Each structure stands twice: as C-alpha cells, then as structure tokens.
Amino acid sequence: MQKIYVRPMSFSYGSNSRKLIKIKKALPICSNKDLSFSRIEITIKGKKNIVKNIDIDKIKNLPHQIKTEVLNKIKNITQKRDKLAGLNLNKFKIFGVLNITPDSFSDGGKYYKLKSAIDHTYKMVKDGADVIDVGGESTRPGAKLISAHIEKKRVLPLISKIKNHKVSIDTRKAEVMICAVKQGAKIINDISALDFDIKSLTSVSKLNKPIILNHSQGTPDIMQNNPSYKNVLFDIYDYFEKKIQMLTNKKFLKKNIIIDPGIGFGKNLDHNLNIISNISLFHGLGCPIMLGPSRKSFIGKIMKKKDSKLRLGGTISAVVTGYNQGVQCFRVHDIKEIFEALKIQEALNSI
C-alpha cells in the first residue's frame, strides 16, 4: 500500500491569512486563523517518490484514493490542539531547560546545587517560561548512562520544591518518571520516546500524564557516530506514527502527546536543517510539536564557533522558523531572549 505524506506550505499571516481563509484559498494551521497555508506538498512514497505541489482548492481534483488520504492529513493539520496539562496551545509555550547535572553540554554543573536550581527556576518563570523541564542525566553526545538512583537523587528534591510551577521531568527511565510524578511533575519528556526502558510504555499509560516523545537515533554515547536515514523527515514521521499508535492502543489519549523531532539526537547538520525547514510536515500527525534547537552544535558548525554559550542568535533563528510554521512548544535555555523574539514575531504575524 502506498504511503502519502502532506506538508503544508505557502504560509500567510494575520489579516492576509484571515482573508484567504474566508475566500477558501487557504486553511488554518491547528485552527489558528492568523496562520494559514494555501499550498500543500504531497509525497507518494514508492520505489521512486512522486512529489506534487498543489493549491488547496485543487485537492478536489485529485484521484479518489489519494484525495481521501490527503483530506485525512488535512484534518489533522487544521484541527485545534486541546489544552495539555492546562497549557493553552493556541499560544506559544516555552519549556525552560534546567539540568541538575555536572556534565550537560551547555550548563552542566551550573545549577547542580539545590538553591541555585530553585533560584534559576524563579528567574525562568519571571522571564517567560511556561514549564520548567528538569533533567538529572546528561544526554549530550557522548554522555554515559547513570543509574536511576543517582538521577532521582538529583531531580526529586528540586521538583518537590518547585511543584507549584508546571514541571516536566526529562528522563528515559520509568522509575524516575513514576517518582517525579509523585513529587509533582505534570509532564514526562522522554528523549528515547519510550525506547530506552521497556517499562516506560506501561508506566506512562498508568501515570496518565502528557508525554513528549523525542526522536533520537541511537543512545547518547553513540548517536552522533555517522547517523543516516533513507529520508530523515519521513523516517521520523513513520517512527512517531507507530509510537502514537502504541500509546493509543494502551488507551492513552492522543491529545496528551507532544512530538519532538529531536534536533541533534542522531542527526548531522543537513538532517537538522532539513527538519527545521520542513517541520510543518509533522502537523499531519495531529499532535502538538516541540522544537528544541537551543545552543545545539548545528549552530556552531554553521558559525564555526564551538562555545555553546555563543549560539543565541542561531537559536532564535531556528525557533522563529519553527514558530512561523505553527510549532507550539520550544525547549530552550535563554528564556528572556526567546520569549521576546516570539512575542515580537507573534505581534508581526497578527497584523
């Protein structure tokens, strides 16, 4: 059976978007009338992929079987995303990175002590973070595995102190997920998308908390050893499609799934740029999208600078590119600057 992918393109914003929707020349992204698309790229996967770019008012002229599948994808692209853990996804949401580790790639050791982590939480919330994403295990390229015991020792005291704020637990271990939720975490963020721990799928289903599924190829210690894909976009899309099906088969609500294509997790420079440039494809899965380009090495490779603290400009550029394609959630370190960039872009797009 042929596989069909639909990517919304030719975006319009603000009054122009609303006008085009009104005259049925465009359709909204996730029911947001200030952001619409007037063309779609249809890829029919086979021995040799067939790619067609058509205006949305020409969909009715497609062959019946293709038209049916395209319309199903269009429904996913245009439907409103429900609230998730109390978060209104009609507006952008910022997840502030808080690593309680000695060795994370950008801020390792900086917030390792409880007081400094609590202080930084308050600063991130003040600067515009909607969720504090707490992690106790470094998953930078080359990072080694630590025990669940050590990871819990790092994150649980902090979560118990900041649980009045929305907290997501960044872990790939079921045991840590369970304990973090008991301490007050509202969202689970698994960089392995439930692949690392065989108990994770059952645990997540029972906990019934929203889950962020992050795509990664390989484990952190080896993931950057020559990553390869047949087609990075379609391979990741198919991967998420299976994961969503696995969770819904366990009676987990699809509306509580966020997908993150995993910038830098088993991807080279071209893979990362391709994902960010074409991230609107993933709206076809019918779930909110997260983008986490913050201080990642692809920026350093382009700019020829190794220091991750000098990558703010590149981070903002990637975030805004995602936002302009309808991405709802952004996982970043530099809250104040990203919040300001998104607020300005939001205002510009509303005109």
As annotated, the active-site residues are 296, 331
Q: Determine the residue type at 45.
A: K
d(CA 51, CA 100): 46
**84-110: b (≥16 Cβ within 10 Å) or e:** bbebebeebbbbbbbbbbeebbbbbeb
The DSSP line for 238-270 is HHHHHHHHHHHHTT--GGGEEEE--TTSS--HH
8-state DSSP, 13: E
- The phi and psi torsions of 66 (rounded to 5 degrees) equal -70, -40
Rounded Cα gap, residues 286 and 78, in angstroms:
9
Which among 35, 37, 36, 68 has a CA at the least distance from the CA of 53? 37
Q: For residues 158 and 343, what is the distance between their CA atoms, to the nearest angstrom?
A: 29
